[in-house]
């Protein structure tokens, strides 16, 4: 059982703190608020939970709660671990919050912060830290938590890895395998390159080594053949000289990454049978070897990006974020709803949920709707090639009939998921050309959640319904605050580390909201 080391948090200000506090009342309000709530935020129960997950090491054991507070200060001021150590030495505001006013040395080290984040991730303590800020909001008693209204959305987070094209990805993957193979066998890297006959790794860059006219498709095809031949020679060298070492994690990961790039960016040429550059982009393409979890994403049709999506779920009224996650940029939004929803329902019944329509495909939407939760979202729309879209038809589920814009009616058969208008009726209809190109009459397919979609379409047609939908902008404001705190670019590489970062930034956003509430009281 690890020795439990508590962070002692006196509530009364010391004489030195009392002199500094008035100076922070104007330009350092957040630091003043952190000093005020730190004992409540890191109460005995939370400190005990932190202590069970973090065993202090070294000659000067550190309280885990103090390091957790440092992670919040880092998020607020957006400083690195090295900068955090320096800031704690020279910034009175940090010293005021950390309880070390006037100290000549920082009460923590750069390495301690790295190890603490690893322990936070291993024990999901970043989620607990965010939950603690939600608990503080509940204790204010200013908002009801019996029938919750929540909002969910996502925003782009640019990845920290370097994005490269196919040629440079292949070159980097090839170089990484050569480096890892040399280390595994214990020989100089130059020896591996020489013995495997790798000419492309001798130049400053792969494109410089190939030295072709990159506008010439034939030259590119020949260059690719040369490059793939070198890949084969390197794999043969590894199989011959490092057979016993291929299971080493670094070499194995390098080989897997090389094969991933080959599979995602190349395809068989239907005319020659040789491999060629893929026409189009693979759906799960890895654009960076530096951060292999990054993906190509598109928040809108005109806004492509590379990296991740950060999802934020908040409770309206209290205006606090109850959960935040980071996922690869190419992952559809609806896959995350089942993971995020329990963060709200853990606090009480969910009465109303505002979401972007990207989340509508989640089965959780149907579950919540069946349980009585009001779903607020824009419905999917279809333009149908300029002809009458589905929403131009009146679908009466109770009467089991569908009426077209020309006021012709077709009946729904019990259990059927589509309705068909008679061909004889459609052929003589004056609106036929504006409705369909089918010779057998127009058909309408019903969605499995058609009742919900009917509700959403009705709300969009009603001015009062549209006014309610505009309340979803509150989650956009929260995402903007997260972007302001965290920045538009990921600080770390990988999904889990960036989830920790967005959660601590969400905790800071919640604490800022609580400070504003206290000021307004």
99: left (phi over 0), alpha (psi -120 to 50) or beta: left
pLDDT digits (tens, 9 = 90+) for 159-207: 999 999 999 999 999 999 999 999 999 999 999 999 999 999 878 888 8
Please tell me the distance from the alpha carbon of residue 65 to that of residue 39, in angstroms, as a whole number. Answer: 10
pLDDT score for 140: 86
Residue range 256-271, pLDDT digits in tens: 999 999 999 999 988 8
* pLDDT for the residue 450: 85
pLDDT of residue 359: 94
**Whole-number pLDDT of residue 1:** 39
pTM comes to 0.90
Q: How much is the pLDDT for 303? A: 83
d(CA 219, CA 200): 16
DSSP state for residue 358 in the 8-state scheme: G
**Of the candidates 336, 332, 293, which has an alpha carbon nearest to the alpha carbon of residue 311?**
336
Stretches where the chain sits below pLDDT 70 are: 1-4, 54-60, 521
The residues with which 443 forms a beta bridge, in sequence order, are: 420
Those residues with Cβ within 8 angstroms of residue 167's Cβ, 6 or more apart along the chain or in another chain? 206, 207, 210, 227
Residue 2: the pLDDT is: 44
What pLDDT is attached to residue 521?
63
Q: Six-digit token pair at 30? A: 């957040």
Other Cβ atoms less than 10 A from the Cβ of 263: the count is: 11
């Amino acid at each position: 059982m690890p020795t439990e080391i508590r962070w002692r948090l006196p509530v009364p200000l010391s004489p030195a703190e009392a002199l500094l506090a008035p100076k922070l009342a104007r330009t350092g309000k957040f630091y003043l608020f952190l000093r005020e709530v730190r004992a409540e935020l890191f109460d005995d129960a939370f400190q005990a939970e932190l202590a069970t997950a973090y065993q202090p090491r070294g000659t000067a054991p550190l309280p885990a709660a103090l390091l957790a507070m440092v992670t919040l200060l880092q998020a607020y001021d957006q400083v690195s671990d090295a900068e955090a150590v320096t800031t704690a030495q020279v910034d009175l505001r940090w010293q005021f919050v950390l309880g070390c006013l006037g100290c000549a040395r920082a009460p923590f080290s750069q390495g301690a912060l790295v190890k603490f984040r690893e322990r936070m991730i291993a024990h999901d303590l970043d989620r607990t830290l965010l939950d603690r800020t939600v608990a503080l909001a509940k204790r204010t008693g200013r908002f009801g938590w019996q029938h919750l209204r929540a909002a969910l959305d996502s925003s782009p987070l640019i990845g920290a890895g370097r994005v490269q094209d196919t040629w440079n990805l292949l070159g980097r993957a090839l170089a990484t395998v050569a480096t890892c193979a040399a280390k595994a066998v214990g020989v100089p890297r130059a020896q591996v390159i020489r013995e495997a006959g790798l000419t492309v790794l001798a130049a400053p860059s792969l494109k410089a080594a190939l030295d072709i006219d990159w506008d010439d498709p034939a030259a590119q095809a020949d260059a690719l053949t040369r490059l793939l031949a070198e890949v084969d020679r390197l794999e043969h060298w590894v199989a011959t000289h490092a057979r016993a070492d291929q299971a080493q994690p670094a070499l194995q990961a390098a080989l897997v990454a090389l094969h991933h790039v080959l599979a995602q960016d190349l395809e068989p040429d239907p005319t020659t049978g040789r491999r060629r550059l893929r026409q189009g982009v693979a759906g799960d393409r890895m654009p960076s070897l530096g951060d292999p979890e990054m993906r190509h994403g598109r928040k809108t049709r005109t806004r492509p990006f590379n990296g991740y999506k950060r999802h934020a779920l908040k409770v309206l009224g209290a205006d606090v974020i109850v959960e935040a996650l980071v996922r690869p940029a190419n992952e559809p939004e609806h896959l995350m709803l089942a993971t995020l929803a329990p963060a709200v329902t853990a606090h009480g019944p969910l009465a109303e949920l505002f979401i972007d329509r990207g989340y509508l495909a989640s089965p959780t939407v149907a579950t919540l709707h069946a349980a009585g939760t009001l779903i607020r979202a824009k419905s999917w729309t279809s333009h149908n090639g300029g002809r009458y879209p589905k929403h131009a038809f009146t679908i009466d589920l109770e009467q089991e009939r569908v009426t077209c814009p020309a006021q012709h009616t077709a009946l729904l058969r019990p259990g059927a998921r589509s309705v068909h208008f008679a061909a004889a009726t459609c052929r003589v209809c004056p609106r036929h050309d504006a409705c369909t190109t089918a010779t057998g009459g127009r058909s309408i397919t019903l969605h499995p959640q058609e009742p919900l979609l009917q509700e959403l379409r009705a709300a969009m047609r009603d001015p009062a319904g549209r006014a309610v939908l505009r309340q979803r902008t509150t989650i956009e404001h929260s995402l903007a605050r997260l972007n302001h705190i965290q920045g538009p670019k990921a600080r770390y590489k990988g999904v889990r580390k960036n989830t920790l970062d967005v959660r601590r930034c969400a905790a800071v956003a919640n604490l800022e909201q609580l400070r504003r509430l206290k000021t307004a009281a």
